[in-house]
Structure 1
């Protein structure tokens, strides 16, 4: 029996070609999906669907590179026209610093936060963290962000900023400045013109907190996070670190700043241009090389900070692992290129802090009672409050209440006379 083979018609061939093409496309797409990591797929979906975050809390820790980060977040706020920001008062602090944040000492726009049911969309700046009090102030669903720095470097930066800036200031506002520039360092050394090494040699870690603003020289970052400065046990600090980790969505690490910014971009649904730092500030001082004995003293002064720093450094790298290490390296390279050659008109420039001089200033203190301190700070606060906004205050007793809160938390400044001695 002869079988006769017939050529398929043209229509059948066309259908077969289409079927083969579809098969190839499906196979290629399937291989791409299998190869792509789950974290990358999740992030890609989120990036395509995300909306810029409009509610966030930024705890601006001291001497950690936090100003550069605040500029980035402020740019994000202005770009998306986010209102309802908690304002600074008294400058540069928020809501009762150095005491824990309290709603009655906060202002949203021109109005006291306790005068109504209004909640803030944005809180970012120097305040002492307290989870429950912040939740009373800020809208629900807010993202929580902060930053940390190597504790030894942060301590040295704190010394040079407060000690060097605490020299005689000719500004007419200096007498009203409630920051008490110079302390606690000038309180320990008794004069200006000394070095960081002199301070480390002289300071007593067990008594530094008795100085006004003493927390600036001992566990400064932990203090800002609301950790009890008098409990340095490892178990307690680790417990506080875990609680903070449950609250904060991201704690950036200055030593890994670019990786941190990439994660911040992902968290707040920002663009690449959003996370380019516009400026950075640098201090004019030479980093001191610590001796073994000085290193031991610094470790005693930064014990809590070191525990928190190590905890959140590990947390950061876990987040980087979830983001994808290979993907992170690619994006860090991209960000580094954008910072070096900004595509926009922004410039990543160094903004030098004030010059230092070698004048020695001997300081003589006058004792004051707590009542005197409250009265003096209260008067300063009333003078510092903008005159146009005073009508919005619910009660004029706010100034005395805020002053008392500050004094009770070591935020007072001794009255002193100075005599300048120029070194030759």
Structure 2
């Protein structure tokens, strides 16, 4: 009898201890979710994406079949440097697609076509600028090919593009200056003034208009002029199904860790730091007026939706990868980067471009021109600020 009474306090103590541990664990788990949710501005994740759960890919050898959809003004050149290092250090038996005309592959700015890729057969890897077309890429790359890309916060990308194209190519009478040379026509516009002008002018009749209208969506194969929300959502869902990984420049290190997992990289492949400096400029963090904000949203409606979607999927991937595992790998990456912080990539020298026929080049030029890739020769404005005349010229291949 006394023994029974003696056991009750011990039993109650154990129950109390277990309950307390459960409360502490639940609080920690919820705080983890809130932290991740804050990063992507959502409040919850599906139950199967438990941040304690680690998904580990089985890696037996480096992946040699992959396509990097190199988007513009997104930090993609830094990823390109890492991939070149990966290919070279592992001595992979790969055949890379050539840039033709530089720096494009497969008929860019038209959607990728196998017929316009060099070499046409036996290509296993592409690292350069191409316009994504899932079905066409599957037609000429192996079934086990892995597809990935990188995105950037659209307003930051827009500003980067403005300063890059204005500084390097303004008023030049060939493709690299478009559509800056068309819109500015000798005017000294700042980025906000350019934004308002572009929102009124940019459409498919202006060569290379997409550089300032849903540029990232264009590179991923979506029509930059698409406006219907349901159609936009459907296109983004299609991309989600066809891409193995979408990296984000704003979370570059987390993206690199996921890329390492996707391609079965070793740490040596990520140990170098690659710097691509476009020059310093004052970045505007916000819009001065509602008018400017609406102008930007008009030009980048798809890019904004695209970024928001893949911002969420990136953090779901991080959760599936394992939060603790990600933390450990980031520490390793940062340590290796600090040890190699003075390393800068040397530009790659490639062999001669495979021979082509004049008929093939003619067809490629025509395809590029049909997809807003013609060239424009700017003319002077009249006193009324209207264009006197404009001419489109053929693309020059070197």
Structure 2 residue matching 1:321: 3-state secondary structure: helix
Question: How far is the alpha carbon of 1:192 from its aligned partner?
Answer: 5.2
Question: How far is the alpha carbon of 1:81 from its aligned partner?
Answer: 2.4
Per-residue displacement from partner, 1:65-121 (whole Å, max 9, x unpaired)?
00000111111112222321111100011111111111111102xxxx1xxxx3311
Q: Partners in 1 of 2:296 and 2:238 — Cα distance?
A: 26
1:17 — aligned with what? none
The alpha-carbon distance between structure 1 residues 396 and 210, as it changes in their structure 2 partners (threshold 3 A), is closer
Q: Does the 8 Å CA contact 1:163/1:183 hold for their aligned counterparts?
A: no
Q: Which of 370, 384, 401 matches 2:363?
A: 401
Structure 2 residue matching 1:181: 3-state secondary structure: helix
1:201 — aligned with what? 196
The alpha-carbon distance between structure 1 residues 86 and 349, as it changes in their structure 2 partners (threshold 3 A), is closer
The alpha-carbon distance between structure 1 residues 285 and 266, as it changes in their structure 2 partners (threshold 3 A), is same
1:285 aligns with 2:288: no
Q: Partners in 2 of 1:208 and 1:286 — Cα distance?
A: 28
What does residue range 221-240 of structure 1 map to in structure 2 within 5 Å? 221-240=216-235
Q: Partners in 1 of 2:90 and 2:69 — Cα distance?
A: 20
Question: How far is the alpha carbon of 1:350 from its aligned partner?
Answer: 10
Structure 1 residue matching 2:131: 3-state secondary structure: coil
Question: How far is the alpha carbon of 1:222 from its aligned partner?
Answer: 0.2
Q: Partners in 2 of 1:203 and 1:389 — Cα distance?
A: 36
Q: Which of 56, 61, 85 matches 2:71?
A: 61
Q: Partners in 1 of 2:136 and 2:368 — Cα distance?
A: 17
Select the structure of larger CA radius of gyration: 1
Question: How far is the alpha carbon of 1:332 from its aligned partner?
Answer: 1.4
1:132 aligns with 2:135: yes
Q: Partners in 2 of 1:127 and 1:252 — Cα distance?
A: 17
1:92 aligns with 2:103: yes
1:241 aligns with 2:236: yes
Q: Partners in 2 of 1:337 and 1:192 — Cα distance?
A: 47
Q: Does the 8 Å CA contact 2:214/2:299 hold for their aligned counterparts?
A: yes
Superposed CA RMSD in Å reads 2.5
Gaps of 5+ in 1: 1-36, 170-174, 352-385, 420-424
Q: Given the two structures, how large is their TM-score scaled by the length of structure 2? A: 0.75
What does residue range 104-143 of structure 1 map to in structure 2 within 5 Å? 104-108=115-119, 113=120, 118-143=121-146
Deviation larger for 305-314 or 285-294: 285-294
Structure 1 residue matching 2:192: 3-state secondary structure: helix
Question: How far is the alpha carbon of 1:139 from its aligned partner?
Answer: 1.7
Deviation larger for 322-331 or 263-272: 322-331
2:154 — aligned with what? 151
What does residue range 24-423 of structure 1 map to in structure 2 within 5 Å? 39-40=53-54, 42-43=55-56, 46=57, 49-82=59-92, 83-108=94-119, 113=120, 118-167=121-170, 180-191=175-186, 193-205=188-200, 207-283=202-278, 284-289=280-285, 290-292=287-289, 293-342=291-340, 347-348=342-343, 392-393=355-356, 395-416=357-378
Q: Does the 8 Å CA contact 1:258/1:332 hold for their aligned counterparts?
A: yes
Per-residue displacement from partner, 1:9-49 (whole Å, max 9, x unpaired)?
xxxxxxxxxxxxxxxxxxxxxxxxxxxx9844x52xx45x5
Q: Given the two structures, how large is their TM-score scaled by the length of structure 1? A: 0.71
Question: How far is the alpha carbon of 1:136 from its aligned partner?
Answer: 1.6
Q: Does the 8 Å CA contact 1:119/1:139 hold for their aligned counterparts?
A: no
The alpha-carbon distance between structure 1 residues 133 and 191, as it changes in their structure 2 partners (threshold 3 A), is same
Question: How far is the alpha carbon of 1:193 from its aligned partner?
Answer: 3.3
The alpha-carbon distance between structure 1 residues 124 and 294, as it changes in their structure 2 partners (threshold 3 A), is same
Per-residue displacement from partner, 1:143-201 (whole Å, max 9, x unpaired)?
111000001111111111112211467xxxxx7xx6x1221122112225321122013
Q: Partners in 1 of 2:162 and 2:333 — Cα distance?
A: 32
The structure carrying a bigger strand percent of its residues is 1
**Count, aligned residues:** 323
Q: Does the 8 Å CA contact 1:149/1:309 hold for their aligned counterparts?
A: yes
Q: Does the 8 Å CA contact 1:100/1:127 hold for their aligned counterparts?
A: yes
Q: Partners in 2 of 1:236 and 1:206 — Cα distance?
A: 24
- Structure 1: 4+ residue segments shifted above 4 A: 348-351
The alpha-carbon distance between structure 1 residues 205 and 194, as it changes in their structure 2 partners (threshold 3 A), is closer
